[in-house]
Amino acid sequence: MTVQTSSPSAIEQIILPNVRDIGGFDVRRALPSAQWRMVGPFIFLDSFGPVVFGPGEGVDTRPHPHIGLSTISYLLQGEMLHRDSAGHIQQLRAGEINLMTAGRGIVHSERSSDPVRASGGRLKGFQAWVALPEAHEETDPGFQHLLAERIPLIQGDGASLSLLAGSLEGVQSPTQTVSDLFYADLQLQAGACYRLSAEHIERAFYMVSGEVEVVGQPGRFGADRLVVLRPDSEVVLRAVGPTRLLLLGGEPLEGRRHIYWNFVSSRPERILQAAEDWRARRFPDVPGDDEFIPLPADSQVRWRFKA
């Protein structure tokens, strides 16, 4: 699982996430950024927490819509309750995966459950968005929950890798994605190395904790850095101390993707339609959750990837 050197000039870009308060705690957004738009089909990556909620406090992300993407939610600490307009209700706990495919349109909310809200607790995790291929942009909405024990685990030489989605090292995750991608949680002991091969064209790693070196490259990378790697480069990561990071990437999608608020599409007119549908309340409701997030004013949301 280890080799000694990386390809020359293996690093393409280093991204510092934008930090924003979403109502009581900070979210660090690594994708999309001014420096880099997508890594494979990954168009969005948020890291949140750790945040400590007192009794009576919790997460309250009101119902909001999506089109043209799949969301992958993964927690390291705490739990959240998912509800969506297709009728799915699922408690997400640390170490588990929620994969929600929006396709032609879905509405969902994420909140703390009543027992968690009553007692308080900690929360830390990630949400990634994967843009769908054109042939799947208008697919039916879907949802999949994966327990921690169903996530493939690859171990050896001081490295432990949980394959959250896609394929890597000849192993396939049971998460039902339609793009050629990989998404993994990698933990390294101090001094351990991990070789990330060039089997996928576009790759990046996001530092969760600790420090890592790219062998043969200057410098070290600490927490909350997204490091984009050059295509076709062989990369060896070496942990300075106990280290945790996310690996992500895959094959680039055909054509550009536009993103506006929570909508992603290869067609700008489809996003305009979705925005008008949400403004007119034509999306389906989330059973048991009658609140909603209004469409932001145009001045509050930027179009990205405009031709």
Annotated ligand binding at 110? The verdict is: yes
**Exposed/middle/buried for residue 216 (C-beta within 10 Å: 0-12, 13-18, 19+):** middle
Give the C-alpha separation, 74 to 183, whole Å.
Answer: 11
Phi and psi dihedrals of 239, rounded to 5? Answer: -80, 130
Give the C-alpha separation, 258 to 253, whole Å.
Answer: 12
- CA nearest to 50, candidates 29, 74, 78: 78
Cβ pair 35, 15 in contact under 8 A: yes
Annotated ligand binding at 258? The verdict is: no
Annotated ligand binding at 64? The verdict is: yes
Tokens of 109: 């909310």
Annotated ligand binding at 145? The verdict is: no
Strands 142-146 and 97-101, sheet pairing: antiparallel
Q: What angle do CA 191, 209, 219 make, to 5 degrees?
A: 60
Cβ pair 64, 296 in contact under 8 A: no
Give binding residues as ranges. 64, 66, 108, 110
Give binding residues for Fe cation as ranges. 64, 66, 108, 110
